[in-house]
Structure 1
Amino acid sequence: MPMDLSYTPAEETFRARVRGWLAENLPETGSPRDLAAMRAWQRKLHAAGFLGAAWPKEYGGAGLSPMEQAILNEELTRVRAPQVVNAMAIWWVGPAIIRYGTDAQKRRFIPPILTADEIWATGYSEPSSGSDMAAAKTRAVRDGDDYVVNGQKVWTTLAHISDWFFVLVRTSTDGTKWGGLSVLLMDMRSRGIDIR
């Protein structure tokens, strides 16, 4: 039986909606490093319901189907739309908090990720291990309700302007090299953080 790869009428309607919105709202081409412009573009996409495409609506996302997400990405790429400032947070941080975070964390972190009121950096790579996450050496040791973190991260996009850090750490050396890895949400204004 042959496969029908054509778009459904609803998908074509969605494409027309996205294309029409972009025709009216796409910003002038500017510097890809203009923070104010990137924030404004992200907020505009969010207000239109096009940000957090795969996120559930209950968390402020668009709740789009996989095909609608593909169409949205095609249309954004077609017009060479600028990047949003919180791309890493929208792709990785937000979905992780939605899936694994507490209700309090979801209430606290999800809205400002979408509105770009808070900017996130992600920290995985290290000087001695590159992108081999299982070889991470940055340690986090529990101290009461907090963790004391020691180590280095490299290739950390937007660290110099970020409010928060989604950082891969080693909380245990027992078991497999993957077994002791954790991710912490770290305030970038925390004492001891040095950005170079």
Structure 2
Amino acid sequence: MTDGFDADDAPGALGELTGYELWDRTQQAGQQAAAAYGRMIDARSARARVAVAPEFLRRVRQLLALRLVAVVGDRRRAFPRSVPPAGGHGVAALWAEVFWAARARSPDGGSGVLEAADASIRGLLTLEPSDLADPDTLRAWWARLELVEETFGGLEMEAQATLDTLRAAVDPERQVRPESS
């Protein structure tokens, strides 16, 4: 599996981004992946789709890496470590950390959500340009990427809710108090 990093995405570089920089880069990566998807859908032939597929795959892998750096950071701040930290900043390493830590917190695996995301991420990382020649196959993989994004969003929300609870416990003044009538 390759992670398709740009020079700016070298191991360690992503982890050094500030919260805003990471958010900004993630937004850009999402737009670039969507634009590459659009070019593939608009391609007039299987051969044309295969020709533009390497850029699409690179953009998808870049987006996955950025999203996972954000998810890992949020979850590391919110939860005690239940698994060793990822040995690198590649998609596979970061996803392994998130997957196993989330499984440790929810042994039932969220009714298969984590397993579905795992299968999709593994599939996205192993896709070859020729795998995307058919527009229906391309649409199916795009839909799987969207489901992975929803899973990441849920994992981030869980971490944020936990952080908010921890902060409120430390600083009772920050708690929202009901207004009296």
| TM-score when normalising by structure 2 | 0.30
* Richer in strand (by share): 1
* Richer in helix (by share): 2
